[in-house]
Amino acid sequence: MSSATSPAPSLDPLRIGILGAGQMGAAAAVLFRRAGHEVTLWARNEAKHTQIRETTDATEAFLNQHFGPAPHSGGTLTLESRLAQVDETSDAILECVAEEMDQKTALLSQLPHCRERKALIMTCTSALCVTDMARGSGLVGILVGAHFWNPPHLIPVVEVIPGEGTPETQVQRAMTLLQHAGKIAVRCADVPGFIGNRLQHAMWREALALVDAGVCTAQDVDRVVKWTFALRLPVLGPFENMDLVGLPLVQSIESYLFPHLAVDREPARSLTTRVQEGHTGMKAGQGFYDWTQRDAAEVVALRDRQVVQQLQFLKEQGALEDRPTTGA
Ligand SMILES: NC(=O)c1ccc[n+]([C@@H]2O[C@H](COP(=O)([O-])OP(=O)(O)OC[C@H]3O[C@@H](n4cnc5c(N)ncnc54)[C@H](O)[C@@H]3O)[C@@H](O)[C@H]2O)c1
């Protein structure tokens, strides 16, 4: 699949090690395999390899169904439980383990061969400071953030985050690899949450505050978001929409509204309580919703089908490309 409309750069096949075979790692492995690379997916627990293979096979089947087979049948995908083996044989690494700084640095510190060879080492962190991670793992000047969005085999943009002191050549290697795999690489400074998660969590902070204040229910928030402004977001980003609305109106609304918006500096009460009670979301069967009453797998499948259709529509309309140009 190619998401970007500009021609993908050419690139000889690389040996890519993906560390962590959860939601992000397993799907990213399929993405890079289909782009022709020799992918090794590292999962420390060998007992889970069969299940992981079922997941990657299902992702392949989904992509085959909606986008056709990989060009020239793609590369290879091997599962591996020995980290040293991945370290010794990879030209590029994508770290996709738990979103904990200590766990990521402990793992990334165990790549002496990649470090010595100045391989391309990327982290899929959602929000953690790439510079701190590079310092904690001895990878200053090597580590690059590559924030994929879930589902990583479908969402076109990957945010690319150079750490402090990361040379331009290293950043360009990451951009080229991602673009070659059909992604739109958006470069971002190393601020917590980068671009997308700062925006997403600003909205979630407000959503939680509304519910905690008793203004509406969680379901009301979801209905309003899904069936109002979310419907036009794929075509009009915030700045395009501000221009459409007219900036004086935006300014007027913000002058009145901003003092009323949430500014909490801690996670919301309703979130913290649920986490403490073990109501951690879909996997647990209970979060803000009772997932024992709904088919969670079908909701995820619906999301994926919707993303595919949206991408196809945007491509047909020529709306999945950068247009000239921001005036700012
Ligand atoms: N899920 C998302 O929506 C999403 C989106 C973008 C980025 N990310 C980021 O991607 C990374 C992975 O997220 P995910 O959703 O795939 O998580 P996940 O829990 O689905 O998968 C993580 C995998 O890594 C393994 N693992 C965890 N800690 C490990 C360790 N210390 N050593 C070795 N293996 C370990 C787990 O067993 C699991 O298989 C995180 O940094 C996350 O913030 C997630």
Quote the mean pLDDT of the chain.
95
**Could you read off the pLDDT of 304-327 as tens digits, one per residue?**
999 999 999 999 999 998 776 666
Residue 274 has φ and ψ, to the nearest 5°, of -65, -40
Report d(CA 14, CA 35) in Å as an integer. 10
Residue 312 Cα distances to 75, 89, 207, 239, angstroms: 25, 37, 30, 23
pLDDT of residue 5 exceeding 70: no
* Distance from Cα 99 to the centre of ligand 1, integer Å: 6
Spacing, Cα 98 to ligand 1 middle (Å): 4
Q: Are 78 and 41 in contact (CB under 8 A)?
A: yes
Number of other CB atoms surrounding residue 281 within 10 Å: 14
Closest ligand 1 atom, CA of 126? 43
Site to probe by mutation for ligand 1, drawn from 18, 24, 124 as the one with most ligand atoms within 8 Å of Cβ, is 24
Domains of the chain listed by start with CATH number: 15-187 (3.40.50.720), 197-226+257-316 (1.10.1040.10)
- Give the pLDDT band (50/70/90) at residue 238: very high
Atom of ligand 1 nearest to the CA of 95: 11
Give pLDDT tens digits for 55-113: 999 999 999 999 999 988 999 999 999 999 999 999 999 999 999 999 999 999 999 99
92's tokens: 């590029």
Atom number of ligand 1 nearest to Cα 48: 39
Single-letter amino acid code for the residue at 204: W
The alpha carbon of 130 and the centre of ligand 1 are apart by a number of angstroms equal to 16
Nearest CA owner, ligand 1 atom 17: 22
Structure tokens at 194: 């980068």
Count of C-beta atoms within a 10 Å radius of residue 153: 26
Instruction: Give per-residue pLDDT as tens, 269-305.
Output: 999 999 999 999 999 999 999 999 999 999 999 999 9
pLDDT computed for residue 154 by the predictor: 97
**pLDDT above 60 for 230:** yes
